[in-house]
């Protein structure tokens, strides 16, 4: 069990990558703090973990709120006597996110508040907890679009994920001598509600699939397995990097005809 005796706090753990990671981390021995702004889905994940014999607890958290971010870390320490893994996973992709001309300011600000400020706040309050533990791991969910421009305009989302990469690199350097590793996890296009709500026709799905060398969408469970690797000692000499799990999309040369 690769996370036996560890406590992991996962934001956005009520669905998608967060949910699959919470279940997998618990199966690998972690005590999991499920943090989400949606109470019922988050509590359902806790129930699922407990039904499998694992340990978990739910805390309501809007990651863009300093008070909530501070409380979710304090909750983890109160409930499970410490924190070893912080997985800043919560994020949104706003349906009105577009190019610079078309994207409304409130859409930009909401996206930045959750996707970038949320990661900053998680680190702000989580890093001292890892220090108190003598070290640990921070995983920040970025995206392949932070490396490769999106085929469909989603400027706020892309910029927020680029910010996550920059923040991750700097924190990794700052905390490397404290036995704290900080890593960005960048998924490619996934078969999750977040993406499929946009790719709602076969034509749209095929237009995206043509960019992916493996010819299919990734699954949230596959990203969870990557997160487990990063959270465990299997990745003990890895920090400050952008860990791409993208079906090869960022390695591919795309011609105008394929767009």
As beta bridge partners, residue 186 has 244
Q: CA-CA distance, 143 to 165, in Å (whole number)?
A: 9
Of the residues 125, 157, 198, 253, only one is catalytic, namely 157
Q: Which CA distances in Å does 38 have to 13, 59, 69, 166?
A: 9, 10, 15, 28
As beta bridge partners, residue 31 has 7, 55
What is the H or E stretch that residue 10 is in? strand 7-11
End-to-end CA distance of the chain: 44
Q: CA-CA distance, 72 to 131, in Å (whole number)?
A: 16
Active site residue 157: yes
Q: CA-CA distance, 196 to 205, in Å (whole number)?
A: 8
CA angle (193, 196, 197) in 5-degree steps: 80
- Asked if 77 contacts 129 with a C-beta cutoff of 8 angstroms, the reply is yes
Q: CA-CA distance, 73 to 129, in Å (whole number)?
A: 7
| Strand order across the beta sheet in which 31-36 lies | 55-60, 31-36, 7-11, 85-88, 136-141, 180-187, 242-245
Exposed, middle or buried by CB within 10 Å (0-12, 13-18, 19+), for 259? Answer: exposed
The catalytic residues are 157
């Amino acid at each position: 069990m690769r996370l036996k005796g560890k406590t992991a706090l996962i934001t956005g753990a009520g669905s998608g990558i967060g949910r699959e990671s919470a279940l997998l981390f618990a199966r690998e021995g972690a005590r999991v703090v499920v943090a989400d702004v949606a109470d019922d889905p988050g509590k359902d994940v806790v129930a699922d973990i407990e039904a499998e014999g694992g340990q978990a607890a739910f805390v309501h958290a809007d990651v863009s709120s300093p008070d909530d971010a501070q409380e979710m870390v304090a909750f983890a320490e109160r409930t499970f006597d410490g924190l070893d893994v912080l997985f800043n996973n919560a994020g949104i992709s706003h349906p009105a996110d577009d190019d610079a001309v078309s994207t409304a300011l409130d859409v930009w600000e909401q996206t930045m508040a959750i996707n970038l400020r949320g990661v900053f706040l998680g680190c702000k309050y989580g890093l001292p907890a890892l220090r108190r533990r003598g070290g640990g791991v921070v995983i920040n969910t970025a995206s392949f679009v932070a490396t490769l421009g999106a085929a469909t305009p989603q400027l706020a989302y892309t910029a927020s994920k680029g910010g996550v990469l920059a923040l991750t690199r700097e924190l990794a350097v700052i905390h490397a001598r404290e036995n704290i590793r900080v890593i960005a996890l960048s998924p490619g296009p996934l078969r999750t509600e977040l993406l499929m709500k946009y790719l709602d026709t076969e034509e749209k799905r095929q237009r995206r699939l043509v960019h992916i060398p493996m010819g299919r969408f990734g699954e949230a469970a596959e990203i969870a397995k990557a997160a487990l690797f990063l959270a465990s000692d299997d990745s003990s000499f890895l920090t400050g990097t952008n860990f791409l799990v993208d079906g090869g999309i960022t390695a591919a040369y795309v011609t105008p005809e394929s767009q």
